[in-house]
Structure 1
């Protein structure tokens, strides 16, 4: 059973995905991770961070008047690797390779597509991630920041991306497109810089973090903070809190997937398994499966970075100024919302709420639901369902 599951599934950026991504023709080809540096970056809450570094990727070519750029903003535990491969022998391509490339929905024959690693990116130990966060060295002390790193928001992720675009001479985007936490960035882009964003696509997203979401996100943090090795974020000279981080990733992964998918993977599950019946410390095989998935991914993540990402999502409201309606009122972009009908993490009502408010404000907004069995993750691996709708939206 375990070998079958490993062959069928792989872990990418803290989530479990069906191995269908390996079947995709990576027309973008080989891509390169580049680095961008900001000497002094002021956060939304007024703090200063020195020597901020983030990684970024691009696909396609920027046209002469620099008007064809599409920004892809990534999800919670992802990074800027949205399409293509780094090496010919890579096992998998970027997470949205199905819709990014020559002739695809986000056509790199037409558009210059770029994506940026967020601040406090979860994958600190991933060699293809470049990010600044609590695990980084504070230039003033020569030691890791730990929890002295400033709290950051979705707006800070947006402003780092804006600084990169400014350095490239891109004054206006063709569109911003993002999934999950990336959808938060996309809609905040449209609110913060309305004259620079004529089109916004929110996939498996929301317009604000409500009380239910804040509580759900808090559950992600609890296993980390209860791990004695976390030591209030001061663990960089010792053992990392991998048990707590793995526990967090178990919660994240289960919430991101639909019961149908988990039950399909664990089709041999039996409530009356012998081991847990005879030993209170033994697990059901399904629990061991999810623990294995989580522990493998924990090795390339940093617990403090995950906590900071959780807080950024908890703090989110479109526009970061008062309430969601106020933030949405500033948007000039036409919007497209693509939630997943089976999403139990960012449920469709959250996207519908933002869409309906935009319509009430006489803004152009479209809404369509993805179908599938993978829950929240249908926004990544079923996105091709809406490829033609996305293509038409970008062309209009």
Structure 2
């Protein structure tokens, strides 16, 4: 098993870049929520649904000081604190904890693993998905696992919050895929959600659905994928295809200033001007980082996570309809150099919110990492986040 330390130590890949260097003294406990039978938006039933979660702070008597943090595409519930005294800090630890922007002396913060989480080999990730055992067959589900929509993430999280006694969310927030979940929450439960903070996310339109298809394409082309039937003894997982998928995601989530460190550089012994098989420095870095990431994740789960993103707000005919009845208070956080959720798309999303009569503020997050700035660069927005919570 690859532990959380190994997952975050994978230098340069998407999940690794999300790990923040901020010191964290709080040790949190990873728990398991047994959600039982769950009916998906597509009408299928999953008998034994379970997800991992962690909390910090205390729920008040009214049950209305809760904050839900939703994780990014390749992440898990460790948004804050450490799972062990010497373990890595959570990806948003700089803004969540005692005295921080989301102050756990005042708020009860919950973060949970999603269904179909990609980090199946990580012992600190608990999820139900295609790598889980189908109780009817005794074998892994594979591609027979029901299709999961983003709304299904929300509904399982709602069951978790109900079990914890949460009556209302003071805030729901998250980066990237976590921001999409936040938007989905705002549409699904407007009376339950007081404030929304989607970070580095906007709408999944047809253009973004197409990009997501490109992310996953190498997996389907790997002969070892076998239409998802690679869990059997003696079968090799589609590691090469999964690594190529992570390579696309890794570069897509970064920006040109980050890549300048590789300008005019070649790995030792490589000369691409003389030999077509030799590599440039950035190619080798991407190859190594993506392969390391592939070894800590599951290919089928990657495909299911892509589909969940493509099914963002699938219960509604369009974004405007979804936002009409959504929660009222918003802090939208784009990264101007984001190559995944472009700034123009975020502006269009904000316009939809404003036309729907929402109270909307925008705070840009800077840095050299493009999309990833929405995690590693959040500390400077501390006062903006406090201001949102004070409204």
Would you say same fold, with TM above 0.5?
yes
CA contact (8 A) 2:230 2:237 kept: yes
Distance in 2 (alpha carbons) for counterparts of 1:81 and 1:71: 12
Residue 349 of structure 1 deviates from its aligned partner by 2.1
Further displaced range: 60-69 or 139-148:
60-69
Q: Which residue of the other structure, out of 348, 352, 369, is the alignment partner of 2:347?
A: 352
Residue 56 of structure 1 deviates from its aligned partner by 0.2
Counterpart in the other structure of 2:20 = 21
Counterpart in the other structure of 1:120 = 116
SS of residue matched to 1:21: coil
Distance in 1 (alpha carbons) for counterparts of 2:15 and 2:275: 29
Q: Which residue of the other structure, out of 143, 146, 150, is the alignment partner of 2:142?
A: 146
Cα deviation code 1:38-90 (max 9, x no counterpart):
22100011111110110000011111221110000111000000011111222
SS of residue matched to 1:196: coil
SS of residue matched to 1:313: helix
Distance in 2 (alpha carbons) for counterparts of 1:18 and 1:133: 25
Q: Which residue of the other structure, out of 214, 225, 232, is the alignment partner of 2:227?
A: 232
CA contact (8 A) 2:270 2:279 kept: no
**TM-score, with length taken from structure 1:** 0.92
Counterpart in the other structure of 1:158 = 154
Residue 12 of structure 1 deviates from its aligned partner by 7.4
CA contact (8 A) 2:254 2:370 kept: yes
What value does the CA root-mean-square deviation take over the aligned residues? Answer: 2.0
Distance in 1 (alpha carbons) for counterparts of 2:205 and 2:84: 41
Shift of the 385–96 alpha-carbon distance from structure 1 to 2, 3 Å rule, reads same
Counterpart in the other structure of 2:5 = none
Counterpart in the other structure of 1:302 = 298
Distance in 2 (alpha carbons) for counterparts of 1:38 and 1:193: 19
Shift of the 19–178 alpha-carbon distance from structure 1 to 2, 3 Å rule, reads closer
Instruction: Establish whether residue 96 from structure 1 lines up as the match of residue 104 from structure 2.
Output: no
Distance in 2 (alpha carbons) for counterparts of 1:57 and 1:99: 16
Instruction: Establish whether residue 133 from structure 1 lines up as the match of residue 167 from structure 2.
Output: no
CA contact (8 A) 2:270 2:278 kept: no
Distance in 2 (alpha carbons) for counterparts of 1:16 and 1:310: 16
Cα deviation code 1:122-159 (max 9, x no counterpart):
10001100000000000000001000001101100000
- Count of matched residue positions in the alignment of Structure 1 and Structure 2: 382
Distance in 1 (alpha carbons) for counterparts of 2:185 and 2:179: 10
Q: Which residue of the other structure, out of 182, 185, 189, is the alignment partner of 1:189?
A: 185
Distance in 1 (alpha carbons) for counterparts of 2:18 and 2:40: 38
**TM-score, with length taken from structure 2:** 0.94
CA contact (8 A) 2:19 2:91 kept: no
Residue 203 of structure 1 deviates from its aligned partner by 0.4
Instruction: Establish whether residue 373 from structure 1 lines up as the match of residue 368 from structure 2.
Output: yes
Give the gaps of 5 or more residues in structure 1.
1-8
Matches within 5 A, 1:206-245: 206=202, 208-237=203-232, 238-245=235-242
Q: Which residue of the other structure, out of 58, 68, 83, is the alignment partner of 2:65?
A: 68
Residue 333 of structure 1 deviates from its aligned partner by 2.7
Q: Which residue of the other structure, out of 265, 280, 299, is the alignment partner of 2:276?
A: 280
CA contact (8 A) 1:276 1:284 kept: yes
Residue 269 of structure 1 deviates from its aligned partner by 2.2
Runs of 4+ in 1 over 4 A off after TM superposition: 16-20
SS of residue matched to 2:272: helix
Q: Which residue of the other structure, out of 305, 313, 329, is the alignment partner of 2:309?
A: 313
SS of residue matched to 2:67: strand
SS of residue matched to 1:56: strand
CA contact (8 A) 2:18 2:376 kept: no
SS of residue matched to 1:163: helix
Further displaced range: 279-288 or 290-299:
279-288
SS of residue matched to 2:191: helix
Further displaced range: 283-292 or 95-104:
283-292
Residue 18 of structure 1 deviates from its aligned partner by 5.7
Cα deviation code 1:299-348 (max 9, x no counterpart):
1100000001111111213x721111000001133111001011001112
